[in-house]
Copies of this chain bind each other. A is one copy, B any other.
Amino acid sequence: MKRPTQADVARLAGVSRATVSYVINGRADRSVSITEETRQRVLWAIEQLGYQPHAAAQSLRSGMTKIIGLLIPDMHNPHYWQIVRGVEDAARAEGYDLLLASTSLDPKREQHSVRALLRRRIDGLILLLTFGDRLASEIEMLARRHGPVVLLGGQVPGLDVVEPGYESGAAQMMRYLLSLGHRRIAFIHGVACPTLGGERLTVYRRVLQERGWLNERWVIHCGSTLEDGYQAASHLLDCSPRPTAILVVNDLLAIGALRAVADRGLRVPEDISIAGFDDIEVAAYLTPPLTTVRVDSETLGRESVRLVLARMRDPERPLQHIRVSAQLIVRASTGSAPAD
């Protein structure tokens, strides 16, 4: 019970293999023309046998895989999933399948995954790198040889980039928190690699520095799990004086922070304000609903696919750098700074 091949179809339809190929690939319009009757016979034979073209053979011959690869840092963070959704959607709409890999926040694995993805001669690659710097030169080289590679955030010379507008988002957020009267603002920087989310931290530091309110003790570096967020917030809550607001590098960790506050019997936002980044879907449904900076992650994914496809079509087009804007979303987790 072997799977039927193109030759089987040809035999059954009483035509040559080339004809079958023409019919399938719809080349019937331009250079080649096929009798409607022949076409129908071929179609019938295909149906009859349940024939399906062999993807590997097509790839080998045509040089296209019809696959787009996506590398994300961490499957735990919903934010990345929203990106995956955007990518999957856009890719599928164009007839591409999605090969997904995650770094699991491990540099070795990131390197390994990038190589594995590249090895497949996938049509296009979208990389959301965690430890990118270490690989920059290798990626640059490989990208030159392989097809299109688009970076989702970060910087590698010679590559198209889609950049989330966290920087302006962070600035909006800081302005907002200051307008509420907060001065003791903490920052939880829970990421696998210091460079990740760096722009948010930088803006935070700069804004407070300008006012002389920066206190490095209130910048917590920790891991990237919910529990890390919880622990970091717990630590901050035990400080004296306590910060009146905690800005968290992403919503996932902010959820951990909310829990920490609740566990200490404190109220949000009366006793302390909490805010995050990303506007993951649950953010609006938390108790209290979370103030955050929205970066439309599906758009991030979609745009990446767009760039990849565009580069496929025209490898010589000028380098693109697209910025997806961010927007402050005020909900109930932030309020005026409590009087001392």
* Residue A282, interface by CB 8 Å: yes
- Inter-chain CA distance A262–B332, complex, in Å, is 12
Which residues 279-295 of A sit at the B interface, judged by CB distance below 8 A? 281-282, 284-287, 289
Which residues 237-263 of A sit at the B interface, judged by CB distance below 8 A? 255-256, 258-259, 262
* Residue A52, interface by CB 8 Å: yes
B67 near A99: Cβ-Cβ < 8 Å: yes
- Of the listed stretches A84-92, A167-175, A177-185, chain B binds A84-92
A78: chain B residues within 8 A (beta carbon): 78, 81
A145 near B1: Cβ-Cβ < 8 Å: yes
* Residue A339, interface by CB 8 Å: no
- Chain B: minimal CB distance from A307 (Å): 20
- Inter-chain CA distance A230–B284, complex, in Å, is 11
- Of the listed stretches A114-122, A158-166, A196-204, A207-215, chain B binds A114-122
Would A145 and B3 be within 8 Å (CB), given that A54-B121, A56-B56 are in contact? yes
- Inter-chain CA distance A144–B3, complex, in Å, is 10
A32: chain B residues within 8 A (beta carbon): none
Would A258 and B281 be within 8 Å (CB), given that A56-B65, A99-B99, A145-B1 are in contact? no
A97 near B97: Cβ-Cβ < 8 Å: no
A259: chain B residues within 8 A (beta carbon): 285-287, 289
- Chain B: minimal CB distance from A6 (Å): 13
- Chain B: minimal CB distance from A68 (Å): 11
- Chain B: minimal CB distance from A45 (Å): 17
* Residue A33, interface by CB 8 Å: no
